[in-house]
């Protein structure tokens, strides 16, 4: 009986392995890299592009066409200077006066502050407070910082 079980297991394994087949891609070359020739546009495509460009205002025609560029090294992270209104400035100033370093994370703190006006959002301010503590931007406890952000945001935005 055990011979039959062993034979059936061997036959099942053989069928399973043969069903997998070969998953490798084989090339006829000797592993050399192949190159793909650049895409060339036909004259019909060029004339339709010229027709559609001439229908646009002259300001659009003066802009250079976008081209793919290779990777370039970035020397510094670009800043996203978002305009801050008076309510947001006073909110950030109040948090700074209480001992929170807001430099560089103003957008995140302002975004979290606006969530204080939405009663169904009880996740954003605690999450941001936890991140600010982990980033060592304050010496306050989690509860103190969460309450401070919530109170100042409600005063400024709600």
Query: What is the pLDDT, as a whole number, of residue 146?
Result: 94
Query: What is the pLDDT, as a whole number, of residue 18?
Result: 62
CA-nearest of 104, 114, 108, 106 to 127 is 108
Residue 39 carries which DSSP code? P
Among the residues of the chain, which ranges form H helices? Answer: 2-20, 43-54, 58-61, 86-97, 106-114, 124-134, 142-157
Q: Which residues of the chain have pLDDT under 70?
A: 1, 15-34, 42-65, 78-83
Query: What is the pLDDT, as a whole number, of residue 101?
Result: 93
29-49 pLDDT, tens digit each: 555 666 777 777 766 555 555
Query: What is the pLDDT, as a whole number, of residue 85?
Result: 85
Assess contact for 147 and 105: CB atoms under 8 A. Answer: no
Residue 104 carries which DSSP code? T
Rounded Cα–Cα distance for residues 151 and 130 (Å): 16
Domain chopping of the chain, boundaries: 86-157
């Amino acid at each position: 009986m055990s011979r039959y079980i062993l034979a059936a297991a061997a036959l099942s394994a053989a069928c399973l392995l043969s069903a997998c087949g070969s998953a490798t891609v084989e090339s006829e070359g000797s592993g050399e890299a192949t190159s793909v020739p650049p895409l060339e546009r036909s004259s019909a495509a060029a004339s339709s592009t010229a027709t559609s460009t001439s229908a646009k205002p002259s300001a659009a025609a003066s802009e250079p066409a976008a081209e793919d560029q290779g990777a370039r090294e970035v020397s510094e992270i670009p800043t996203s200077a978002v305009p801050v209104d008076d309510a947001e400035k006073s909110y950030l100033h109040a948090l700074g006066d209480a001992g929170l370093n807001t430099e560089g994370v103003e957008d995140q703190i302002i975004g979290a502050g606006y969530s204080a006006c939405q009663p169904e959002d009880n996740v954003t301010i605690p999450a941001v407070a936890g991140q600010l503590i982990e980033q060592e931007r304050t010496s306050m406890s989690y509860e103190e910082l969460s309450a401070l952000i919530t109170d100042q945001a409600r005063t400024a935005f709600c």
